[in-house]
Structure 1
Amino acid sequence: MTRLSVNINKIATLRNSRGGSVPSVVEAVINCQKFGAEGITIHPRPDERHIRRHDVYDIKPHIYTELNIEGYPSKDFLNLVIDVKADQATLVPDKPGQLTSDHGWNTVEHADFLTDVIKQLKQNRIRTSIFVDPSVEMVEGAKRVGADRIELYTEPYASLYPKDPEKAVAPFVEAAKTAQKLGLGINAGHDLSLKNLKYLIDRIPYIDEVSIGHALIADALYMGLRNTIKEYLDCIKP
């Protein structure tokens, strides 16, 4: 059954825009879980423009579901993830100043680097997920470097979905089938929303987890956090 992990980066972005501690990321974590979220995702970046290093330590004691930390696997990132004992590390190939993730790893070209990173994380009993484009070759590469899961980068699906849902989802179905055959878990994230989420889950019902932040937090401005989380859960639960 697919789990919903709520990315709270945008809560931190709003807080940082004014300074101080409002809205509270800790409160967001507590309430997201209370309202039904089955995980919390954060993506601390080197410039700390949203989630800050101290937030990670503030949040961790309040997690009773799962903590998924996304990021480029620099030495500082790995030290942080290992120190707080995250449940899952999602490795993304972002440059330091990148606005948002916009492509997956080339798991063939970066195989040696990813193998070393994953070895460190597994030694610390942290589940690993590699952010990949919907490519059979990249999924196979993720298996070879030792990942536990892949996270399918779903922005291309979200962009094409309004015009041609079947064409939009087709490469993701193929990539997911490959991952399933190889014994890899499957996560998905980026630009998923109430408009396109259910169709993706209907076509790939064995997705383990979706990580959703921007659209969910935006919807919560109008519907409230409790109602919004319920709406997203309704999209992914049979």
Structure 2
Amino acid sequence: MGGVAASALLLVAGPASAHVSVQPQGEAAKGGYAVINFKVPNEKDNASTVKVEVNFPTDHPLASVMPQPVPGWKVDVTKEKLAKPLTMHGNTVNEAVSKVTWTAEDGKIGPGQFQQFPLSVGQLPEDTDQLVFKALQTYDDKEVVRWIEVPKDGEEEPESPAPVLKLTAATGDGHGGGGDGADAAKTSTTSSAHDTATETASAGGSDTTARVLGVVGILVGGAGVAFGVLAGRRRTTG
């Protein structure tokens, strides 16, 4: 799941224009599951980020949220009881994730750096084109930056925009962007069958060729022997 890229602390060109954002690894398809990365840049020149809180949407709750470990950071997943239970894979779900918090232990996000925090999430809703995650970024000088302003279509981006995950059309396989493996297995089986048939045909063709050449060799050899016998008789008669 891109663990090295996701957990490594990377540099950015300039912290002044960056903000907390969320992007999927691949696609985030409606009705499926996806791995998403929250990208948190450090925007201060004299302080480091030591805590990141991401609040999940209550209008489209997500029952399954699994964080990928990030070296140097402790992660806490908070759940709340749903006012209206969800149905997932035939099961009733009474609670959903309301917040995920990363707290620095041995690590931090220093000036001019950013960190990615990956999550596996699902099942994504089918009745919306996006999910809004409001985030809080805490620095070691106690300042808290609130990324909670919801961007609106046709308007300029707000000063502190909330991370927005864009959802793509449903794929029909329930796994959000990449099938469940059935198509790949079918393709692999078909390819293997084709290769086996080709090898068999090739082997059969080679075997047939060898037999033909063998028969030709016997006939040529027999003709040579007959020619030699006839030549010997002629010399004896003469």
- Whether the TM-score (by the shorter chain) exceeds 0.5 is no
User: Which protein has the larger Cα radius of gyration, Structure 1 or Structure 2?
Assistant: 2
TM-score (ref. length: structure 2)? 0.23
Higher relative contact order (CA 8 A, sep 6+): 2
TM-score (ref. length: structure 1)? 0.23
Bigger helix fraction: 1
